[in-house]
Every structure is written in C-alpha cells, then in structure tokens.
Chain A
C-alpha cells in the first residue's frame, strides 16, 4: 500500500469510518428507544434543508448547507413531535407524514430554482460522493508529516472528525442520564432528570451527525449506520457498554470493507469501474446485521443460555 493508497483511498476510508461511528453512537440509543426510524426521517429532510439554505444564501458553501440541513432536521423533529401530540397520531405515521412532505417540498424547490447549474442534486444528497474525497497533494505516507500537504486534506475530513469527536464527548458526558432515561423513563423523571430535553438532545445530536456525514457519504449510509451496527451489536451482548463497543467495531468494519469492495471488488470480477462506495458500505453493514441475526449469541428474545430463575 503505497502513495496511491494514501492519495486516493486513505481519506475516503477515514471519512467513512468517522461518519459511520458518529452515526452509530447515537443510533444505539435510538434503536433501544424504538426510535430507529428518526434516523430515516432526519436523513430525508437533509435535502430540503440544503435547498432552502441555497435559496437563502445563494451559495453552495459548506457552512450554510450544513446549517440548513441541521435546521431542517430540527424542524422535522419538532414537526413529528407536534403531529404526534396535537393529532394524537402514532409515531411511525407522524414521521411518515412529516418527512415525506418536507422531502416533497425540497424536491419541488429544487426543480423550481435554478440550481441545476450548481453542484446540488438529489442523487448527490442520496448517494454522497465518498470516492471524490481524495487527498490530491499526498505523495505517500510521508505526507502525513508534511504540513503543506496536510493543509490540502479534504475539508470534509476535518468536519466529520470534529463532529465525531463531539458525538463521542457528548455520549460519554451524558452516558448515565441517557442510559437511565432510555431504560426507565418514569424513574428518570422522578429523579428530576429533564427527560424531554435528553430525548431532544439525543435526536439533535443524531441530526448533527447525519448532516455532517451526508455531505460526504450521502443519506443512505447515514440511515444504515444509525441502525445496522447498533442492531447487530445488540445481538452480540446483553450489556449496553459492550453493545456500544461492538457497534463501533461494526461501523468501522462496514466502512473499510465497503470502501474496499466498492473500489476493488469489481476489478476482481473483471469489471473496469468501481461501484458506489456509499451503497457498498450500507450493503456490508446489512451483511453484518444478517450474520448477527443468524448467529449472534444473544439474537433471540428469550435469550440464549437463559437459566431457569431460582
């Protein structure tokens, strides 16, 4: 693995790993709270968010796009909550109403506005563009110590690294309240924990992770990473701490294997061109989940090795 690897594969793989971990961490709690599909809803509203941001600012710079997407995610979450409470509608249906409507609005705005000239399109939002995030200036591994080359790293890498670090820090700080309120909400309330704020904070963190990740890897990976690694991890253990560790392992594994299969897999079959890395990462995470469903030691609800209670 030489200069070419560093130049063309190192940064996409790193970005894939960081994005996957940033999504998988909050995903653990979303899955346990039976809110896995919030991830689905968030990633669908990223599109209307960036379109609106473009229409307001007229630029495709990263910051307005990210803010627009984050704003849309928060609007979606509030909208879902409002529909749920005001209309007394079950969460799944409320999500279905909210995110599809926002998505439809986004597509319409996109068609109406003159965005075709700029680099902003639906497919990009859905599939991402991991392959293009190469480190052009890199000459080889030695570039890791070359400040000039480091300065030319794709911006996406820095962004997702910051967000991933933020997600990790938040998870560590709020570990106990998250765990208690996820397991036993009324006990948490009786302790005086702000259960509503914790739940909202979790979703906003997930939204921030999704927004930072989607730009690089597209929204499919985002949904897949919210759900597949944590779900597979749940089937590997009966302890939350271990589950989160497994989910990080699975997320990393999906990112690396997915990227490698997408880039080199077709060559092994004699084909010429690489396939979508984002799609392949999601596929690999699905294969891992399938294996966990079939062979995970704690896959069944009754619990393998359950002893008759004394």
Chain B
C-alpha cells in the first residue's frame, strides 16, 4: 500500500510489528477476534509474549482472558487472526507448547491415576503405540516430585484436593518439556501451599529461559509474581513490563468502575504516569 504521508491519527496501540512472519517471540497473536454468538469475546487483539518472562493476562470476568489463550491454541475457532509460535505456524510448533487448562474443565471422576495423567504429557513423544518404558515413568515421577506430589502417584485423581489436582496438571505440563507454558487460572481455588509450589516451579521455568503465560485474576499478587502484564477487556488495553504498565490508569481502563479506588490504593502499583 502506498502510504506516503505520516500517520495522521496514531491509534492507541503503539508500535506493534504487524508482519507475524517476522516475529520469533514464543507466542504472538495478531488481529484475533472470537465471538460467542453476536458479541465479540475478544476483538482484534494483538499480543506478544516473551521468552524468559512470566506474563499475567488480567482483566475482569468475561473479558476474554481464557478465550485469548484457547483461540491462540486453536482450541476454539476464531473469526479472524493469526498466530505465530517461535516464528512458526501453530501446527509446526505444537511440541514446544504446554497447556494447562482450567481445573474445572475436566471430569475428575475419570477412572485414572495421578501418574497416568502426568504420562499424558508424554503423548507427543511416545505417539500411538510405542511402549512406555521405565524411563518414561521415571521422568513422570520426577515431574510429580517437582510439584511435591510424588507420594500421590498411584492415587485416583478424584481423591485429590483442588490444589493437588492443579499441581498434577502442572506436572503434566512439565512432562511435556516445552518452551512455552500457557496456564489458565492456575491459582484459582488452590491453597496457599500449592500457590507457593506452583510459583516456585514457574520461576524455575523462567530461569531456564522458558516463556510462562498465566491467566490470572488476583491483582494483589501481580507485581510479586510476574514480570509482564497483558491487560484485556474484550480489546487489548495495554501490555508490557509490570513496572511500566501496571498503573492505576491502565487498571481503570481495563476494569472501569468495577475496581473501587480504595482497592486500587492497596495494590502494589506503579506510580501513576
């Protein structure tokens, strides 16, 4: 397109590289729109998630946080949008992604054991028929051990507490040995010990240079746990380092009147710009 004159009206999106083929970030999404029925759940969202960083996706209920993750993974269909994973199309790079769905999305009455669930994480390595060896089992046990669940390996999953179920899910993601970890509300309804354990594991991943993205709902812990935030309310509001973006203005733009000013005062926010 021939565009000789400079931008007359800069949109509020800042400078986002449009050509998705040139981005080699762990996960980049461009122009993603998803709707349930006649209302957009997310509208024309651009997002880029970096390696070696922990990013929180935050926004009010129904703002499209989980939708963004699911659409990026192709779990739900989108009306428009492109996705790139480490500079490749999604289909090529699936091996490098580990996804932790919401705990409530599965039937915990399913007849299977903890170690079995973790071994599901090995599927892309083992494929349909290759035999699961002792090495596979040892690997799964090591992943369970990292979340402090090794003693529960042979329990039926329905017998676990909510926090333990979440740790098993995280452990399954670890077994995938991915480079990009996408977690949907990993801290929802878990006990303090589990939250601690999960954060330790995620910090370890980050230290190894992995990218970690969490849908997160607790504003109070954002600046302690995360490096980057992505603020969304149907549309992308802001993204960047917590130190720059987690401001009262942006929170207001994201949550509107839903967030009482007194509440904002208690948060560990960056001083207003």
Contacts and interface: CB of A to CB of B under 8 A. Distances in A.
Q: Do chains A and B touch in the complex (CB under 8 A)?
A: yes
Interface in A163-208: 173-174, 176-177, 179-180, 182-187, 189-193
B105 A306 contact: no
B112 A239 contact: yes
B101 A187 contact: yes
B158 A184 contact: no
Interface in B107-165: 107, 109-113, 116-117, 120, 123-124, 126-129, 151, 156, 158-161, 164
B252 interface: no
Contacts of A122: none
A234 interface: yes
Nearest to A33: B107
Given A191-B124, A192-B94, A186 B99 contact: yes
A176 B159 contact: no
A238 B156 CA distance: 6
**Is chain A's interface secondary structure helix, strand, loop, or mixed overall?**
helix
B214 interface: no
B75 A189 contact: yes
A98 B205 CA distance: 50
Question: Number of contact residues on B: which range applies?
Answer: 35 or more
A122 to B, nearest CB: 38
B149 to A, nearest CB: 10
Contacts of B209: none
A195 to B, nearest CB: 9
B6 interface: no
B82 to A, nearest CB: 18
A190 B97 contact: yes
A11 interface: no
A237 B113 CA distance: 11
Contacts of B172: 187
A237 B111 CA distance: 7
A238 B128 CA distance: 23
Contacts of A114: none
Nearest to A305: B159
Nearest to B98: A190
A306 B112 CA distance: 15
B106 interface: yes
B41 to A, nearest CB: 16
A186 B111 contact: no
Contacts of A186: 70, 75, 99, 101, 105
A60 B111 CA distance: 43
A32 B112 CA distance: 12
Contacts of B128: 173-174, 176-177
Contacts of A237: 111
B111 A301 contact: no
Given A189-B75, A238-B158, A303-B156, A183 B106 contact: yes
Interface of A: 32, 173-174, 176-177, 179-180, 182-187, 189-193, 234, 237-240, 242-243, 301, 303, 306-307, 309-310
20 contacts: A32-B107, A173-B128, A177-B123, A177-B128, A180-B120, A183-B110, A184-B120, A186-B101, A187-B101, A190-B73, A190-B101, A191-B124, A192-B124, A240-B111, A240-B116, A243-B111, A303-B158, A307-B159, A309-B159, A309-B160
Given A177-B128, A187-B120, A189-B75, 19 more contacts: A176-B123, A176-B126, A176-B127, A177-B123, A183-B106, A183-B117, A184-B106, A185-B105, A186-B101, A187-B172, A189-B74, A190-B74, A190-B97, A190-B101, A237-B111, A238-B113, A301-B109, A303-B159, A309-B161
